[in-house]
Amino acid sequence: MSDMADMVNVKINGRDVAAPIGSTILEAARIAGIEIPTLCYLKEINAIGACRICVVEVKGARTLVAACVFPVSEGMEVQTSSPLVLQSRKMTLELILSTHKRECLSCVRSGNCELQKLCKDFKVDDEDRFDGHNPEYAVDDTSMHMRRNDNKCILCRRCVAACSRWQNVSVIGPNERGFNTHIGCAFDEDLGNVSCVSCGQCIVVCPTGAIYEKDETDKVWEALADPKKHVIIQTAPSTRVTLGECFGMPVGTNVEGKMVAALRRVGFHGVYDTDFAADLTIMEEAHEFVERVKEGGTLPMITSCSPGWVKFCEHRYPEFIPNLSTCKSPQQMFGAIAKSWYAQKKGIDVKDLFVVSAMPCTAKKFEVGRDAEEKFGASDVDVALTTRELGRLINRAGIMFTELPDEAFDAPLDESSGAGVIFGATGGVMEAALRTAVEELTGEQLGSVDFTEVRGTQGIKEATYTVGGLTVNIAVASGLQNAARLLDSVKSGEKQYHFIEIMGCPGGCINGGGQPVQPASVRNFVDLKSVRAAALYQADRENPIRKSHESPLMKKLYAEFLSKPGSPKAHELLHTHYKKRARF
């Protein structure tokens, strides 16, 4: 609780409210239990007061003011829903709609669109009050992971802020001026021709259907309908704690059992856990790290399981390509094992095996088509779906998700450790790797497997450990803006590390660009990253096996098929390479 000396007293709709000094009217109203609508505002990155939906009356002010940027002061009197305010908001919505492509029935965001909700709340009908000439924009579908439809854009600039301030990518921005203003790449270049890293953070902040992932669920339905295909699906660690949001369940609900049950009812021949492949990644990555330390390899070693980060490195920091772990991501390792060991065990011809992944990440759509990510005449993974697509797949099948019983993953790719599940949170890969690497370096069993220094949703975390007589400096970064800061400090010599984990999205996979979209009214006041991550750490604590190398499935896989971590067979199937890409 703040000290009263740090508070200001205001009246909002006639009620006394105490708010911290420096609060905006928007924040003070929230304290009073009043939600002021917004379209452009996004906490920490986009406070520009441009959309004018959040306007309120302040006693003594000459005009309506934008609540998202206007600070409270002692004795201020505010009206958030006076006739003048309501009239202004409604007219603003009518003006927005006058240049908006109104395809709500077929829009991917129908029912979860912030503009649609506001129009309903303010009784804005479709009467063309301000209709006139509208610019027409071609839909840009040149990138592998998403489409952009400027005909549905409301110029809120949230996507621009996410791309520049969170991700340091900055490939989109406002082009032209006045009535012709639209969001695009420099010189209106196609998105597929610039150094977009496919992270999808622009998608999860968009309030409308102007930006959306390429939906590939029809490919899955086609495969499921083919009697010759054996169709299996893997679900990422973080998907189990976010999929429930697609069905109205509270943020952070672990729906692993219901998810498995739903996918069986969709018709998959096998429902498997990517956590198994996360353990496999640790087996290979920890071995690679230990090998680099012992043999004088390139350090710091940097994790490679986030395809958005890897592509960012290839575009912006190619000098660090030798530092990247050669390990494929868990998604791709799963596919490689499925199309080799699993296919052999099941007696399935690889050409008839169709591997689907359910991922928190739009960059996974790019990753399935990368070079050196295939061994069988096709990609290790055939289709990568986002968590949102998975929700739509289940809805389309008519499955009553919240009514389902809990069911377990299918054998043989069902066993995993707690280390595998925390891959979904920033710091999780590092912690999982340390649980194995420390024991390999020391030859001794850990007293505690909890490396709490690397936990939390801070953008950059650092720690130093003494391991087997060695001092090991580590760092963890999430969000590409933070990755850039960290790498710049390494380049300058300011920082020296042995091992670095980087996740492309702020907070890691639990906040990936393929996760369920939450409106600004939630994103601005609920710490989605922390709540979702807490559910993963809870799953880790409840797992009797918390180290990847102690998983019975890992022991079986290496004994039967791979021999040992870093073996020629492991390198053939589970490792990859990278390349320098042009920056534009």
pLDDT tens digits, 164-202:
999 999 999 999 999 899 999 999 999 999 999 999 999
Neighbours of 147 (CB within 10 A): 19
Rounded distance, CA 268 to CA 253, Å? 24
Rounded distance, CA 332 to CA 364, Å? 9
- For tokens 């990936």, the residue is 512
What is this structure's pTM? 0.95
* The residue type at 212: Y
The CATH code belonging to domain 107-113+120-213 is 3.30.70.20
Q: Where are the beta strands (DSSP E) in 396-511?
A: 460-467, 470-478, 499-503
∠ CA 291-297-303, rounded to 5°: 75
Say if residues 76 and 11 touch (Cβ distance below 8 Å). Answer: yes
Phi, psi of 19, rounded to the nearest 5 degrees: -130, 150
Rounded distance, CA 450 to CA 452, Å? 6
| DSSP code for 581 | -
| DSSP code for 575 | B
* The residue type at 471: T
- Judge if the upstream peptide bond of residue 37 is cis by omega within 30 degrees of 0: no
Domain boundary assignment for the chain: 4-95, 107-113+120-213, 218-574
Say if residues 109 and 212 touch (Cβ distance below 8 Å). Answer: yes
Phi-psi region of 446 (alpha: psi -120 to 50; beta: other; left: phi over 0): beta
Rounded distance, CA 547 to CA 283, Å? 10
Measuring CA to CA, which residue among 549, 532, 442, 522 is closest to residue 43? 522
pLDDT in single tens digits along all 584 residues of the chain: 456 679 999 999 999 999 999 999 999 999 999 999 999 999 989 999 999 999 999 999 999 999 999 999 999 999 999 999 999 999 999 999 999 999 999 999 999 999 999 999 999 986 677 877 888 999 999 999 999 999 999 999 999 999 999 999 999 999 999 989 999 999 999 999 999 999 999 999 999 999 999 999 999 999 999 999 999 999 999 999 999 999 999 999 999 999 999 999 999 999 999 999 999 999 999 999 999 999 999 999 999 999 999 999 999 999 999 999 999 999 999 999 999 999 999 999 999 999 999 999 999 999 999 987 777 777 899 999 999 999 999 999 999 999 999 999 999 999 999 999 999 999 999 999 999 999 988 888 998 999 999 999 999 999 999 888 889 999 999 999 999 999 999 999 999 999 999 999 999 999 999 999 999 999 999 999 999 999 999 999 999 999 999 999 999 999 999 999 999 999 999 999 999 998 87
179, with CB counted inside 10 A (0-12, 13-18, 19+), is exposed
71 is written with which tokens? Answer: 């600070």
Say if residues 574 and 328 touch (Cβ distance below 8 Å). Answer: yes
What tens digit of pLDDT does each residue of 244-262 get? 999 999 999 999 999 999 9
Q: 231 - beta bridge partners?
A: 354
Reduce the DSSP state of residue 231 to 3 states and report it: strand
- For tokens 């203003």, the residue is 181
The CATH code belonging to domain 218-574 is 3.40.50.1780
* The residue type at 114: E
Q: Where are the beta strands (DSSP E) in 47-154?
A: 55-58, 65-66, 77-79, 146-148
Phi-psi region of 110 (alpha: psi -120 to 50; beta: other; left: phi over 0): beta
Rounded distance, CA 291 to CA 285, Å? 10
∠ CA 431-498-477, rounded to 5°: 55
Helices (H) and strands (E) in the chain, counts: 20, 17
Arch. (CATH architecture) of 4-95? Roll (3.10)
Rounded distance, CA 238 to CA 361, Å? 10
